[in-house]
Amino acid sequence: MMPEQRRTQAVSELPALYCPFPSFVHPQADRIDKKASEWMSSCPIPQDPDDRRLLLRSGLSRLLSNSCARGNADRLEVGSKWIYLGFSYDDWFESHTSLDGIVNAVCAMQRAQEAPGSVLSDVPFLPAFAEIMGDLRGIATPTQYKRFTYQHLSYLHAIPWEASYRLRREVPDLNTDVILRLNAGANLPFLAIMEICNGEEVPSAEFNHPTCQAAVEVAALLLSWVNDLCSISKDSRDGGGRGGIVNSLQRERRYSLEEAVMETISVWNRSMFLFKKLSVQLATHGSPHLRRFLDDCGASIRAIIDVHAENPRYDSPALSVTADPPADLDPSPLNIPSISWWWQQLA
């Protein structure tokens, strides 16, 4: 059996992920995805033709549509363009061999986000990125765009950090990798863009509260960890990033691939259990806008599992799901210092 086949098989043998949220399909998801992928097909990003073909066949924009039950189709189309472009420039970053080039690109993107009319360099995807930022600014409230900008900057700042490990051919320790994935996974801005697509604004006093921020971080990492599990074969095939929770567990604890995958499922289930408890706690006295936002965060977690199922981009088997937590689930905080503060927010 070839190494890639062994890695794929490890994913196929996973126990079910605990996810208490039902699947949802936005009634206009197919039409939105078609329009976004057609737009993406014309973007001049240097990309392997096979990778471009797989991306455009992936239907990945449905992740956003199926996370936003009340999402407006026109807003979702803007967000879906960002989804496709984001996967493309993330691939571009991973294929880049110059840290200087990556830093140049993220700095130019930061300025284009702060002022969509500003283009500082000849980064190939910058005009398309600036176009989307301009469209987002046009439909978002000032607070929503500020939140999205802050979360997207966290992603941009993490890209050179992540690349430094990849270019040195090193795997970060687990505690570091968790924060790298939290930011470099781009799921914090994804959750922020949902608020824009729904046309609702969570009051700042609620959104900025540590308990809400903890819940947002848990949701973002749950999204990233699904991608880690589903990217095992892809990374083996194309030599992608050396980070991710599976790789870090293998390095730090000297686990086999199978052991690291099983531990990742345990980490997922314990974190999902916490997210559910934090969401219920916040919803008890939260505003309708906050409750709907938390509902959408839950929907996004289920949506990423569904969208990755048999996705040609990842070539991985579907992940099974159960609505019930494992009988032996440990509710105590994970022994990962960078995220242990999450559990301190429980009442």
Gap between the Cα atoms of 89 and 86, Å rounded: 5
Q: How many CB atoms lie within 10 A of CB 212?
A: 21
Query: Residue 318 has what pLDDT?
Result: 72
- Whether the Cβ atoms of residue 267 and residue 255 lie closer than 8 Å to each other: no
- Give, as one character, the DSSP assignment of residue 231: T
Residues 201-242 pLDDT 10s: 999 999 999 999 999 999 999 999 998 988 776 655 555 546
Give the Å distances, CA to CA, from 141 to 62, 131, 135, 138, 196. Answer: 24, 17, 12, 8, 8
For the residues 4-11, what does the mean pLDDT come to?
42
Integer Rg of the chain from CA:
19
Q: Is 324 helix (H, G, I), strand (E, B) or coil?
A: coil
Question: CA angle, corner 33, sides to 268 and 235, nearest 5?
Answer: 45
pLDDT band at residue 187 using 50, 70 and 90 as cut-offs: very high
For the residues 243-257, what does the mean pLDDT come to?
92
Asked if pLDDT for residue 339 goes beyond 60, the answer is yes
- Whether the Cβ atoms of residue 51 and residue 239 lie closer than 8 Å to each other: no
- For the record, the structure tokens of 289 come out as 């806008």
Residues 80-125 pLDDT 10s: 999 999 999 888 898 888 899 999 999 999 999 988 777 777 788 8
Asked if pLDDT for residue 71 goes beyond 90, the answer is yes
Q: Is 327 helix (H, G, I), strand (E, B) or coil?
A: coil
How is the chain split into domains, by residue range?
A: 3-345
Asked if pLDDT for residue 323 goes beyond 50, the answer is yes
Q: What DSSP assignment string belongs to 51-62?
A: HHHHHHHS-TTH
Gap between the Cα atoms of 330 and 335, Å rounded: 12
Query: Residue 235 has what pLDDT?
Result: 57
| Higher local confidence (pLDDT), 3 or 47 | 47
Gap between the Cα atoms of 31 and 33, Å rounded: 5
Q: Which fold has domain 3-345?
A: Farnesyl Diphosphate Synthase (1.10.600)
Q: What DSSP assignment string belongs to 68-114?
A: -TT--HHHHHHHHHHHHHHHHHHHHHHH---HHHHHHHHHHHHHHHH
Gap between the Cα atoms of 143 and 220, Å rounded: 20
The total number of residues shown for the chain amounts to 347
For the residues 278-307, what does the mean pLDDT come to?
96
pLDDT band at residue 6 using 50, 70 and 90 as cut-offs: very low
The overall average pLDDT reported for the chain is 89
Give the Å distances, CA to CA, from 194 to 118, 184, 206. Answer: 25, 18, 17
pLDDT band at residue 270 using 50, 70 and 90 as cut-offs: very high
Gap between the Cα atoms of 270 and 326, Å rounded: 9
pLDDT band at residue 311 using 50, 70 and 90 as cut-offs: confident
Query: Residue 52 has what pLDDT?
Result: 83
Q: How many CB atoms lie within 10 A of CB 191?
A: 22
pLDDT band at residue 57 using 50, 70 and 90 as cut-offs: confident
Gap between the Cα atoms of 347 and 335, Å rounded: 20
pLDDT band at residue 1 using 50, 70 and 90 as cut-offs: very low
- For the record, the structure tokens of 133 come out as 């930022």
Residues 138-162 pLDDT 10s: 999 999 999 999 999 999 999 999 9
Q: At what angle do helices 142-167 and 174-184 cross, to 10 degrees?
A: 140
pTM: 0.92
Range name among 32-36, 57-61, 146-150 with the lowest pLDDT average: 57-61
